Amino acid sequence: MRVHNPFRVAFVATLGVGLGLVFIGSIQTLSTILLYVGTALFLSLGLDPVVAWLERRKLPRWAAVLITILAVLAAFAGIILMVIPIIVQQIGQLVVAIEEIVSSGAWDDPVGVIQNWLGDVFPALNVDELWGYIEDWYAGLDVGAIGGEIGSSIIAIGGSILAGLAGAFIVLILTIYFTASTPSLKRSVYQLVPASKRARFIDLGEQITDSVGHYVIGQLSLGVINGVLSAIFLSIISAPFPAVLAVIAFFFSLIPLVGTLTGSTIIVLICLGLGSPTTALIAAIYYLIYMQIEAYVISPRIMGRAVAVPGAVVVIAALAGGALLGLLGALVAIPVAASLLIIYRQVVIPRQNER
């Protein structure tokens, strides 16, 4: 094929590549904002079935949205009020213990205390020679540089915490807005489709949004069941801080596939470290039994209505979502996979059968 105006073709191609690079750069720059928007949309679709249920009870939508948001805020406020007093109490106990040690004079000579402890615990160890190695190593350190790095790390951690709190507040505001305006947002999207195909698109759109909403509600239900049962059982066996451990069980149950296993492992280790081996063993047996019941009884009944996704697809989707977007990606991946399966089964396959 002969090119009549190579300069114009090259110029247009260069502009196209430039616009593509600008578009990719814009997406990277706005990645945090897009993540906030995506998270808020995901949460609003999860709250929409609750709002719809309240609307079927003859409540206006604004009242249903208000009740739903207040219930969610009350739940998180209750969790925070449950955990913070225990943390403050433990910090207070630590401060008192440190004050007792300082006031007793046991650490007036900390180097001597450590040397005596090493000599008592490891009688065969040459403490003086070991301490000489430690002093030589310390003398070679750039203490100022290490202190600067520690200070920078503390500032970075503090900035990350503030950024996380600000992001959570933004997501909350967007979630309230999206939840209140979900019908109008759906109508705006549906109007972009040609009228001849709009009815079919609306049907698929409603199935997809219902699938996402039921998935979020189902996952929250699993978390609540695990958290409540954990609080009851851990209180019965006198585990350390059962309320905090129940909150850990709740949040980790929100993570698909490995969440319950990971949370149970952390709880058992805490029982072992802060409690006793017997308590940890009883907790481990309980969670082994609970995970079997959850996998074969509770989860199929709750999630069966939410998303009908084969097990292999669930694993692949969760791994891919986690690799792309971390924890949020793993949470969103399964309803996204369910939505793609709906399109595949109801759009792609019928079209192929018509050929």
Convert the pLDDT of each residue in 321-354 to its tens digit: 777 766 667 667 777 777 777 777 777 787 777 7
Interaxial angle between packed helices 311-343 and 195-236, expressed in degrees from 0 to 180 and rounded to the nearest 10: 150
Whether the per-residue pLDDT at 263 is higher than 60: the answer is yes
Alpha helix stretches (DSSP H) within the chain = 6-29, 31-55, 61-104, 110-121, 127-139, 143-180, 182-190, 195-236, 242-253, 259-274, 277-293, 299-303, 311-343, 349-354
Work out the average pLDDT over 22-27. 69
CA distances from 240 to 88, 91, 245, 256, 262 (A): 15, 15, 8, 26, 18
CA distance 70 to 47: 12
Name residues whose C-beta falls within 8 Å of residue 34's C-beta, 6 or more positions apart in sequence: 27
CA distance 351 to 355: 7
CA distance 212 to 218: 10
pLDDT for 340:
78
Largest CA distance in the chain: 94
- Region class of 238: left (phi > 0), else alpha (psi between -120 and 50), else beta: left
CA distance 56 to 64: 10
Work out the average pLDDT over 85-93. 66
Whether the per-residue pLDDT at 206 is higher than 60: the answer is yes
Regarding predicted confidence, which is higher, 307 or 165? 165
pLDDT for 314:
67
- Mean pLDDT over each residue of the chain, to the nearest integer: 75
6-15, 64-73, 137-146, 181-190: least confident range: 137-146
Model pTM score: 0.64
Of 188, 184, 179, 185, the C-alpha closest to 49 is 179
pLDDT for 112:
66
Q: What proportion of the chain, given as a percentage, has pLDDT over 70? A: 66
